[in-house]
Amino acid sequence: MIGDKKVILSGIQPSGDSITLGNYLGALNNWVKLQSEYRCLYMLADMHTLTVRQEPSQLRARTLSLLAQYIAAGLNPQENILFIQSHVPAHAELTWILNCYTQMGELGRMTQFKDKSKRHADNINAGLYDYPVLMAADILLYQADMVPVGTDQKQHVELARDIAQRFNGVHGDVFTIPEPYIAPPSAGSKIKSLQDPTAKMSKSDPNPNGCIFMLDPPEVVIKKIKRAVTDSEAEVAYREGKDGVNNLLTIYAAVTGKSVEDAVSEFAGKGYGDFKAAVGEAVAECLRPFQLNYRTLMNSKDYLESVYKDGAEQAGRIAERTLNKVKKKVGFVPR
Ligand code: TYM
């Protein structure tokens, strides 16, 4: 708790030119809904991106751009603590300590590690393996009660719980045990690729038509949705075996705020052509204000700088408090 509010922490990696519709519907859009009820810290997870090679000037630009995207989506910097992970050294320090409370076997079981090591077989670095411990440090430093993420991050949040419980078991109550907060799949916690609706929508999709980026121009969005893989049944229904149509219905419902059931009845008797055109329009409509806000913010670099500086100060204070407690517990001599 901070004051009388429960604490939320989450983050996105600044690893693409813009976030994807999956990041938006699975994470950012939910964060906006939670911001007044909870004390929220939203991080730009730049340290995590180094697990895959980055071009330095691009990483710098993308980090600033991601901050603008957070605010453009509706996160209020006055109400939330928005900060850059690498600005708070406590993340790296706590990671080291937690490494010594994490088993190799636990990290080897992480499905994202297995997937990413296949995709980056020439660079299976220790950071890629250790990444979930850094994520546990991110969460535990702020004594977060809840961690709003998409389905693909659930396993990492569960590991953070296990590490926290283990540490508390040895040293007493130091960490709050965090809960993952995941919307149901029909509400967008697992948006699929438009080209392979059995896989998640991801910026690293080998087919560029599989992924919608939040800064894609409207005509591109409409075209990508028009080309989305569906099935040969020509019936707009939400049921097993219709992954492509289910995904488009989920996207439509999430961006319009309608239920999937209402969306299904809206398209009853309509063909896939009309359906896809309506979904494309609805997504483009949702992106319009986001992109407008984004452009305005990117013209106010001083403002963005003031937001992340202030965020680092506030986050740093909270993180230091936890880190000092941890250092004392493990037996480090205070400075
Ligand atoms: P990242 O950057 O891969 O994704 C950011 C958020 O977007 C969600 N997401 C999706 N949700 C629905 N459908 C999709 N297709 C989809 N793709 C991505 C992710 O679940 C995530 O919530 N390790 C994290 C970042 C992180 C973090 C943290 C999160 C670092 N420290 C501490 C929470 C707490 C990551 O790589 O997310």
Q: Kindly report the protein residue whose alpha carbon is nearest to atom 5 of ligand 1.
A: 12
CB distance 194 to ligand 1 below 6 Å: no
Mean pLDDT of 307-331: 98
CB distance 159 to ligand 1 below 6 Å: no
Per-residue pLDDT tens over the stretch 270-291:
999 999 999 999 999 999 999 9
Mean pLDDT of 152-164: 97
Report how far residue 258's alpha carbon sits from residue 172's, in angstroms, rounded to the nearest whole number: 46
**pLDDT of residue 4 exceeding 90:** no
Number of residues written out for the chain: 335
Q: What is the value of pTM for the model shown?
A: 0.96
- Catalytic residue, chosen from 190, 192, 200, 242, is 200
**pLDDT of residue 2 exceeding 90:** no
Q: Kind of pairing, strands 146-148 and 179-181?
A: parallel
Encoded amino acid at 230, one letter? T
Comparing 4 with 93, which gets the higher pLDDT? 93
Instruction: Tell which one of 7, 8, 12 to mutate to probe ligand 1, the residue whose CB is within 8 A of the most ligand atoms.
Output: 12
- Catalytic residue, chosen from 6, 203, 327, 329, is 203
The pLDDT value recorded for residue 239 is 94
The pLDDT value recorded for residue 335 is 87
Q: Is the dihedral of CA 81, 113, 102, 331 positive or negative?
A: negative
- Do the beta carbons of residue 17 and residue 50 sit within 8 Å? no
Mean pLDDT of 321-334: 98
Q: Kind of pairing, strands 81-84 and 146-148?
A: unpaired
Structure tokens at 239: 């049921």
State the distance between the two ends of the chain, measured CA to CA, in whole angstroms. 28
Q: Which atom of ligand 1 is nearest to the CA of 152?
A: 20
Q: Is 270 a catalytic residue?
A: no
Q: Is 118 a catalytic residue?
A: no
